[in-house]
Amino acid sequence: MKRVLFFFLLILSIHFIKAQPLSQRLDALLHEEVLKTSEVGIAVFDLTTGESVYRYQDEKLYRPASVEKIITSVTALAQLGADYTMDTGLRYRGKIENDTLKGSLYLIGGFDPEFMDEDLDRLVDALASQGIRYVTDTLAADVSMTDSVYWGSGWCWDDTPYSFQPYLSPLMLNRGCVDVSVSPAQKDSLPQVVCTPASDYYQVHNQGVSRNPQAGKLKITRNWLSNGNIITVSGNVSYPYTEHLNVYTSKDFFFHTFVSRLRSKGIEVRTCTYADCPVTADSIVTLYTVRRPLKEVLERALKKSDNLCAEAMFYHLAARRSMHKRVTGEDGTDAIHAFMKTALGLNPENYKIADGSGVSVYNYISPRLLLEYLKYAYYHREIFLPFYESLPIAGVDGTLQNRMKQTKARGNVHAKTGSVTGVSSLAGYVKAADGHQLAFVIINQNVLKLSRARAFQDKFCDILSR
């Protein structure tokens, strides 16, 4: 009898919980321990019915962290289009006679964040395939797309030499980084160190020790305080490991390595310099172009939360809107503001947009603003399809691969994560059990332990999924 009564009460309690209004179940989360010492802003909208579902402090301003990439991505898809490409090219002025280019060669940077080692070889091979072995005048690197400021406004200087903060430039090779891979050898001997891309632009000091814990913790760094490119490996190497370090500076790393690759192919140039390629001269000939589709950049920006890809879209928006070369971060902000005002009908002066990635400590937005971008994307299918496909999926891939695996939200939540010191955010879409599509934004602020904020967000998404 007691067992029958127990199951009856259990079934009754489950029905009671299901019968609770959604707002009541979400309100209960506001008593979570994490909110005793921190803030949160929340906005939920039913895209199927066109009605607001839940709001809590959604007009307040918060630092967004990487959910800022939603603003950049939606604007880029709307203003540039999914078929837009980011181009890095070789052009020349003069004429090719036998094995000699009698004139100047221009390497033109187009801020391609995914330009890798094999792409550099393609440029070199394109020149070699023309039979060119000598350039009589100048090899010029054209970095006129942006100004010379290589970090965004409000970026932290001591985030270098980490790979998530490379030195920005229209010429980016391997995301402005060197991949330093170490492997142990015999005990107490030097470990093996392999760096890619291979280049003599940087030096490697191998001071590591194989399989000896007394050598101390493994450390791979460079002399970044003096803007140097001496990479030092020290400490114990007991297993294979790869560190990604940015290099000072991206444009010089690209240009220097390109010239070295040319010489390895037997191609010599008289003078190497930085100069603008003439844009009006009829005699300018395009030799080869590496094109990067926006979709590829978008996917990495969202799935992997890649800052460089987001900044590339930000600066391409600036270049599309601006009438002059050497666009600035302010031009990128102006492009975001213009879209915010004309497409969303919101006043840009109520918010602060400092960069495209969310790295800046100067960014301040509200959950409501971010929700408007999610709504705009959803109701414009040409934007929504590539945007939705690029978002991380809970429990499946991207930055949400290891979250919500044991909840109803698994596979139902497509959302962008965000994390900087004191901030954890999550924004995107969730498919509810009744088939409705919801858009949501959660920004946790002043959180010392980000894991607690993520647990709060995961519970929230589980409730929405149910």
Q: What mean pLDDT comes out for the span 12-16?
A: 48
In this predicted model, what pLDDT tens digit does every residue of 30-44 receive, in sequence order?
Answer: 999 999 999 999 999
Alpha-carbon distance of 86 to 207, in angstroms, equals: 40
Please indicate, yes or no, whether residues 200 and 317 belong to a single structural domain of this protein: no
Q: What mean pLDDT comes out for the span 367-393?
A: 98
In this predicted model, what pLDDT tens digit does every residue of 135-178 receive, in sequence order?
Answer: 999 999 999 999 999 999 999 999 999 999 999 999 999 999 99
* Per-residue exposure over 268-303, b if at least 16 CB sit within 10 Å of its own CB, e if not: ebeebeeeebeeeeeebeebbbbebebebbbbbbbb
In this predicted model, what pLDDT tens digit does every residue of 324-361 receive, in sequence order?
Answer: 789 999 999 999 999 999 999 999 999 999 999 999 99
In this predicted model, what pLDDT tens digit does every residue of 92-109 receive, in sequence order?
Answer: 999 999 999 999 999 999
CATH number for 311: 3.40.710.10
Tell me whether residue 455 is in a domain: yes
Q: Which of 292, 322, 347 is the last residue of a domain?
A: 292
Q: Is 94 left (phi over 0), alpha (psi -120 to 50) or beta?
A: left
Positive or negative torsion for Cα 339, 341, 346, 351:
positive
Quick one: pLDDT at residue 254? Answer: 98
In the block, which residue shows the tokens 């519970």? Answer: 459
Quick one: pLDDT at residue 3? Answer: 58
Please indicate, yes or no, whether residues 79 and 120 belong to a single structural domain of this protein: no
Q: How confident is the model at residue 429 (pLDDT cuts 50, 70, 90)?
A: very high
Q: What mean pLDDT comes out for the span 277-304?
A: 93
Alpha-carbon distance of 171 to 212, in angstroms, equals: 40
Please indicate, yes or no, whether residues 68 and 203 belong to a single structural domain of this protein: no
- DSSP β-bridge partners for residue 108: 89, 142
Tell me whether residue 5 is in a domain: no
Please indicate, yes or no, whether residues 283 and 161 belong to a single structural domain of this protein: no
In this predicted model, what pLDDT tens digit does every residue of 232-282 receive, in sequence order?
Answer: 999 999 999 999 999 999 999 999 999 999 999 999 998 999 999 998 767
Please indicate, yes or no, whether residues 48 and 119 belong to a single structural domain of this protein: no
Positive or negative torsion for Cα 417, 423, 424, 427:
negative
Instruction: Calculate what percentage of the chain has a pLDDT beyond 70.
Output: 96
Please indicate, yes or no, whether residues 332 and 459 belong to a single structural domain of this protein: yes
Q: Which of 246, 281, 311 is the last residue of a domain?
A: 246
Quick one: pLDDT at residue 279? Answer: 80
CB 394 within 8 A of CB 404: yes
Tell me whether residue 322 is in a domain: yes
CB 151 within 8 A of CB 250: no
Tell me whether residue 6 is in a domain: no
Tell me whether residue 79 is in a domain: yes
Please indicate, yes or no, whether residues 326 and 444 belong to a single structural domain of this protein: yes
CB neighbours of 261 closer than 8 A, spacing ≥ 6? Answer: 120, 121, 124
Please indicate, yes or no, whether residues 316 and 443 belong to a single structural domain of this protein: yes
Q: How confident is the model at residue 13 (pLDDT cuts 50, 70, 90)?
A: very low
Quick one: pLDDT at residue 4? Answer: 53
232 phi, psi to nearest 5 deg = -115, 130
Residues spanned by the domain of 111: 85-148+270-292
Tell me whether residue 350 is in a domain: yes
Please indicate, yes or no, whether residues 67 and 98 belong to a single structural domain of this protein: no
Instruction: Calculate what percentage of the chain has a pLDDT beyond 90.
Output: 92
Mode of pairing for the β-strands spanning 230-237 and 134-142: unpaired
CATH number for 131: 3.50.80.20
Tell me whether residue 328 is in a domain: yes
Q: How confident is the model at residue 10 (pLDDT cuts 50, 70, 90)?
A: very low
Number of domains in the chain: 3
Q: How confident is the model at residue 82 (pLDDT cuts 50, 70, 90)?
A: very high
In this predicted model, what pLDDT tens digit does every residue of 184-222 receive, in sequence order?
Answer: 999 999 999 999 999 999 999 999 999 999 999 999 999
Quick one: pLDDT at residue 18? Answer: 54
Tell me whether residue 265 is in a domain: no
Q: What mean pLDDT comes out for the span 9-13?
A: 48
Quick one: pLDDT at residue 22? Answer: 87
Quick one: pLDDT at residue 9? Answer: 47
Between 2 and 106, the more confident residue is: 106
Q: Mean pLDDT, the chain, as a whole number?
A: 94
Please indicate, yes or no, whether residues 429 and 325 belong to a single structural domain of this protein: yes
Please indicate, yes or no, whether residues 364 and 312 belong to a single structural domain of this protein: yes
CA distances 420 to 113, 154, 164, 411, Å, are 22, 13, 12, 25
The Cβ-side half-sphere exposure at 449, using a 13 Å CA radius, reads 9
Quick one: pLDDT at residue 64? Answer: 98
CB 141 within 8 A of CB 110: no
Asked whether residue 19 carries a pLDDT value surpassing 60, the answer given is no
Asked whether residue 434 carries a pLDDT value surpassing 60, the answer given is yes
pTM assigned to the model: 0.94
CA dihedral 14, 19, 25, 26 (to 10 degrees): 130
Please indicate, yes or no, whether residues 400 and 452 belong to a single structural domain of this protein: yes
